[in-house]
Structure 1
Amino acid sequence: MLGWAITFLVIALIAALFGFGGIASASAGIAQIIFFVFIALFVIAMIARAIRGRPPV
């Protein structure tokens, strides 16, 4: 999932470089949403792992 966020970020940067503002804005927004979903799932996984008795890696 983090790979998808980075991919959309790169697309946004390339689009902004070439002057495609709408595409750059949309790609940056998608990248931001995917990144925050990744962070939320990561935190939930670490909490679940800690509750089950295994220390986080």
Structure 2
Amino acid sequence: MLKLALFFLVVSLIAGIFGFTGISAVSAGMAKILFFIAILAFVIVLLLVILSARSLFN
């Protein structure tokens, strides 16, 4: 998912260089959304791993 966010970021930068500000804004927004979804998924998985490891050692 982070690769897709990076792709949208690159598309946004390239579109901004060539003057396509609408495409650049949409791509930057998508990159931002995907980045935060990836961070949220990471935190959820991290919490699940910590909780399952804690139950294994009890």
TM-score (norm 2): 0.91
Which of the two has higher C-alpha Rg? 2
Partner Cα separation in structure 2 for residue 22 and residue 38 of structure 1: 24
Q: Which runs of 5+ in 1 are unaligned?
A: none
* Count of matched residue positions in the alignment of Structure 1 and Structure 2: 54
Q: What does residue 50 of structure 2 align with?
A: 50
Question: What displacement does 1:28 show?
Answer: 0.1
Q: Which has the higher helix share?
A: 2
Structure 1 stretches of at least 4 aligned residues deviating more than 4 Å after TM superposition: none
Partner Cα separation in structure 1 for residue 32 and residue 20 of structure 2: 18
- Identity value in percent: 48
Q: What does residue 10 of structure 1 align with?
A: 10
TM-score (norm 1): 0.92
